[in-house]
A and B are shown apart, each in its own frame.
Chain A
Amino acid sequence: MFGLKGDWSLDVKERYFTLDDYSGAVPRWCTGCGDHGILAAIHRVCRDAQITPEKTVAVSGIGCSSRLPHYMNTYGFHGLHGRAMPVACGVKSRRPDLDVWVATGDGDCFSIGAAHWIHAMRYNMDLTMLVFDNGIYGLTKKQTSPTTPLDVPTNTHPSGALLPPLNPLTVTLGITNISFVAQIVDWNAQLRHEVIKKAHEHKGTGFVRIIQRCPVYVESIGKGLQDEPTRMQLLTHEKGVQVDDSVKRLFPNHAEHDPTDLAAALTIAANDSILPLGILYHNPDAICYDQISSVGLEMSTDERLAGMNQALDHFAI
């Protein structure tokens, strides 16, 4: 019924949603999996924004990350491997009133769903797209993914991944009509929350690549980064994400980066020696396809009937 606003004043509403209102089944992810933290961040962003649960749809593909909709108490669509984006875009296309979230993974998005990733970025529908990138196929038990680092052993490449990993950021930044590209690690709650919040607030596709720990199959990837924060670089800017000093201390490398500067974003993303964290690119003015695809929704039955007869007239003899 009521809740506390950010400034501690009382906000009286007909319905006020707590974290519980967004929480579904008990997650079945492994202990120590980075997905737990991401889920918590999503719940919090939803709560803070007070989005209506029944007007919210969480869409996913297949994989560990794609179990996420089951852990939401909203509407959800746990579909096919690689195909979260077409479904999510379809949901949004004629229901711009719905708040759409997509949970996908490095295999789901960057491999089997790669075509959809590229085109969905270009459609730039108003939705939030979170890629849980743990650098491994988890659900199918440790096969090489497009982002598995070179030489990391997997069940399909026991002597180590054969090729250098795909760089999802340079690919994404190379797509026309993108509007929001960010990168975070799952283990910093504040950065995680602030970036996901920004992605959600953004009008357009908020793409966030989340470096996510899989302690069961490739502990070394996440742990390596956690142990060596100097391998990462925090992007700071007044137009970027704002974090407090604790975060800045945790990630000692900082770089001032204007997220409206696409060329600079590409340069940063292409630098394989250091992992950028924060918002790489943000363009609030890119065309949103859902505004185009939702034309004609308000048409009345009479107008449709008249339109139908007009269409038939074109062929009358």
Chain B
Amino acid sequence: MSSSQVAGDTKYLFKRENTWWVKVAVPRQLRSTLGYDLRRSLRTHDIDVARKARWEAIKELRDKIEKSKAAHGAEAVEAGSKPVEKGNGSRQAARGAQTIDQHIVEIVSDSGEGAQKCGQILGLVSGKMGNGVWTVEIIPAEIQPPAREPQGASGIRVRMGSHYVTNMGNQADMVVAFNEQVLYSRISNGAYKEGTVVLLENMWAEDPEERIRNQYREALADFQARGLVVYELPLQKECLKLVNDPRKGKNMFVLGMLCRIYRRDIEKAKDEIAKIFKRKSEKVIKINHDLFDAGYAFARDNIDYEYEIPSTDDERLKSAIVVNGNTAAGLGVMAAGIDLVAMYPITPATSASHYLAEDFHLTGGFVHQAEDEIAAIGFAIGASYAGKTACTITSGPGIALKTEMIGLAVMAEIPLVIIDVQRGGPSTGLPTKVEQGDLLASLYGSPGDSPKVVIAAATISECFHFVIMARKLAESFRTPVLLLTDANLATGVQPIARPDVSDEWFAPPLDQSAWDEQVAPYDWDETSGLSERPIPGMRGGEYILTGLAHNRNSKIAYDTASNQEGADMRSRKLAALSATLKPPEVHGDPTGDLLIVGWGSTLGAIEEAVDLARAQGKKVSSLHLRFLSPLEPGLKDIFAGFKKVMTIELNYSDDPDAPLINEETRRYAQLALVLRAHTLLDIDCWSVVPGHPLSPHRIGSVIDARLEKLEGAE
């Protein structure tokens, strides 16, 4: 009987699987060696015993921290040494630029103030300067949410590195906030840490409304109490020197500031500004350039932070394109030679179609906006049946609506690429936010047996290349292929290696040669289940496709044997595909204590966390799956090399320590459930549904906790 609710004092204590543990926080400067906190099991389930026993354990852990501190010696510098804001703006920066490996900066504002544009340019310029970059947009659910409300926060995060950057990283180092309230939305997301520098618009301190002045004052005190390093800056006042309405334009001032702080190339930034406003007049470009210059000068004269982030010589950035995952998928659609995309607007998938609507004509394609999700896939299926390569792009609720059509495509073996840009579910869920919640729906969300190919892109680059693979698989295996991406990939922007396009990626031209009448429309190969399909226009190939059970001749099956044979053949194709796949590669040592298994957009964060843990001597590795149906081969053998295997996913699972949850009642994360059934191994999982991507730190603490539990079990 697990009782998770304990009344009274539980300071330093926490409970894991009916055992009490102590936990002591590690000072920031030691976290790279010791991790976030130190833990020890008290080996008791009795709270009273634990309360008494904790002090000795705490002392022991604190001693460990002290020893580590001593070893660290003079190197233990407080991170983020405070700058001096220099009142009159005359003095030059005292210590020059500090060279850093990477930095994460956020710009947060009310909707419509242009924070995203500002961050996009910063990211683009950094990419052009040879830095690894990842930008991710912070998008409110409404188009014009009320001003100065945490829920209305709109903005962007830019992670710049002297190495290839694969994810949004941990807590931000610096944030520019256009008002104090929007910052709260990011604080509640855990976006900041002690020492995060906040460059805060100070106009609210003198707002005519007393309520706002009070809010500002209270927030300021609160931020300081949270350990944020706040600098109040007269952004509005400075911008008013140049424009009448700084709501439009403050973003360029801030861009100028950030370009000074991060020593960005001024000319490159100005080029990008000119590009953004290329459809506007010269006058508009000039005023934005002036704002940029003013911001740059302001930072030079008033802000003492200056950073140098050296460029990387990563091959991927030698000849790069800067795209988000949805644009990458749209480009992939074109590079795959897909002829038609039929879609219905749905967040966060729609921007892929927006992009295609701009450029699809360059490869001769067409975007059809259908009347609903069902019609969208029906339209694509019709085009595909007629021999054209077709694709439909949607998100979870759209997949739910398309389920019957996907079943038809499986049953009648119609090639089709279905891109699912996953968001939080169920129901309308979290429209703009990330989740990996559609795996089981993709695999099994159909009445009857509905075997199909399901693959998941793990990177923005894969959002491009996997569409090409999906198209080929769909045609070779005469099946729908579901390509899963998610809101994190969809909105993350990154420089990726420019694809070297080949016409071999294109779908072959429409075949209208005669069909041998002796060959059935479903001439299944007994071993592989594969068959060629006749295309309308092929003389001699006339057949009636049906969603009813059918035999090789596509005649409605009124007998039991035909239904069994059809089901066998459709399923056999997955085994045939599996036989062509290679076992996945383990990231890290092929054996060890703990193997983390992931899929989809968590790749970058998982591998970064695993690399850090390994650098600390922990025996942890990771494995990332791209094929979910069929699963990549050799998993059981790989898993055998580790004491424990667990998945880390962005979907729901029961916390084993939650009330009523035990071995019988616990519901597992989606991939974990699949892998447990697949391998018959006791695969554990950790998964959450926060609506934002996992940071390497968060994954790191999961790894640490799981390793400690392993130790505790020994």
Contact = CB atoms under 8 A, between A and B. Distances in A.
B375 A116 contact: yes
Contact of B331 (A70, A301, A312): A312
A116 B382 CA distance: 14
Contact of B536 (A89, A91, A93, A298): A91
A79 interface: yes
Contacts of B362: 304, 307-308, 310-311
B386 A57 contact: yes
A54 B538 contact: yes
A153 interface: no
A90 B408 CA distance: 15
Interface residues of B, number: 68
B386 A94 contact: yes
Contacts of B404: 80
Given A57-B536, A317-B320, A295 B361 contact: yes
A285 to B, nearest CB: 23
A9 to B, nearest CB: 27
Interface string A273-308: 000000000000000000001111111011111011
A87 B501 contact: no
A76 B382 contact: no
A178 interface: no
Interface in A213-268: none
B365 interface: yes
User: Among B127, B384, B537, which residue has the most Cβ atoms of chain A within 10 A?
Assistant: B537
B340 interface: yes
A78 B366 contact: no
Interface in A31-74: 53-59, 69-70, 72-74
B363 A89 contact: no
Contact of A305 (B366, B374, B501): B501
B338 to A, nearest CB: 11
B519 to A, nearest CB: 15
Contacts of B499: 312
Given A305-B503, A308-B363, A90 B383 contact: yes
Contacts of A193: none
A317 B364 contact: no
Interface string A89-105: 11111110110000000
Nearest to B493: A315
B503 A72 contact: no
A95 B387 contact: yes
B495 to A, nearest CB: 6
Given A308-B334, A308-B501, A317-B322, A77 B537 contact: no
A78 B545 contact: yes
A309 interface: yes
B380 interface: yes
Interface string B366-394: 10101110111111111111111010000
Nearest to A59: B382
B79 to A, nearest CB: 31
A311 B538 CA distance: 34
A83 interface: yes
Contact of A75 (B342, B370, B536): B536
A29 B536 CA distance: 26
B386 A311 contact: no
B386 A91 contact: yes
Contact of B540 (A25, A54, A89, A295): A54
A54 B371 contact: no
B321 A316 contact: yes
B412 to A, nearest CB: 8
A145 to B, nearest CB: 20
Given A24-B544, A90-B379, A94-B386, A83 B363 contact: no
B31 interface: no
Interface string B240-251: 000000000000
B363 A311 contact: yes
Contacts of A314: 359
Nearest to B320: A317
A252 to B, nearest CB: 41
B556 interface: yes
A115 interface: yes
B340 to A, nearest CB: 5
B544 A77 contact: yes
Contacts of A299: 363-364
B405 interface: yes
B106 to A, nearest CB: 22
Contacts of B340: 90, 93-94, 293
Contacts of A196: none
Contacts of A295: 361, 364, 366
A119 interface: yes
B537 A315 contact: no
B327 A94 contact: no
Contacts of B506: 301, 304
A93 B366 contact: yes
Contacts of A87: 378-379, 381-382, 385
A73 B495 CA distance: 53
Given A54-B540, A315-B323, A77 B334 contact: no
A88 interface: yes
B372 to A, nearest CB: 6
Given A70-B544, A308-B334, A315-B323, A89 B379 contact: yes
B124 interface: yes
Contacts of B377: 86
B548 interface: yes
A304 B371 CA distance: 29
Interface in B594-629: none
Contacts of B408: 79-80
B382 A88 contact: yes
Interface centre among A80, A86, A295 (most CB of B within 10 A): A86
A88 B370 CA distance: 13
B495 A317 contact: yes
Contacts of A294: 366
Nearest to B129: A317
A78 B331 contact: no
Nearest to A307: B362
Nearest to B130: A317
Contact of A79 (B124, B128, B378): B378
Given A94-B366, A116-B371, A311-B363, A78 B547 contact: yes
Given A79-B378, A90-B381, A94-B388, A74 B542 contact: yes
A79 B382 CA distance: 10
Given A296-B364, A315-B321, A75 B543 contact: yes
Given A94-B388, A119-B375, A307 B503 contact: no
A88 B541 CA distance: 19
Contacts of A90: 340, 342, 368, 378-386, 390
A280 to B, nearest CB: 24
B296 to A, nearest CB: 22
A94 B556 CA distance: 28
Contact of A311 (B319, B331, B383, B534): B331
Interface centre among A53, A115, A311, A314 (most CB of B within 10 A): A311
B128 A317 contact: yes
Contacts of A94: 339-340, 366, 383, 386, 388, 390
20 contacts: A54-B540, A57-B536, A77-B382, A79-B547, A83-B378, A86-B378, A90-B380, A90-B383, A90-B384, A98-B537, A115-B375, A295-B361, A296-B363, A302-B503, A303-B364, A304-B364, A308-B362, A309-B501, A314-B359, A317-B124
Please name the 7 residue pairs, one residue from A and one from B, whose CB atoms are nearest each other, closest first: A90-B382, A296-B364, A86-B378, A307-B362, A299-B364, A76-B544, A90-B379
Interface of A: 24-25, 53-59, 69-70, 72-80, 83, 85-95, 97-98, 115-116, 118-119, 293-299, 301-305, 307-312, 314-317
Given A86-B370, A90-B390, 16 more contacts: A54-B538, A54-B540, A75-B534, A75-B541, A78-B544, A83-B405, A86-B378, A86-B379, A87-B379, A90-B382, A92-B382, A95-B383, A98-B386, A115-B371, A293-B366, A293-B368
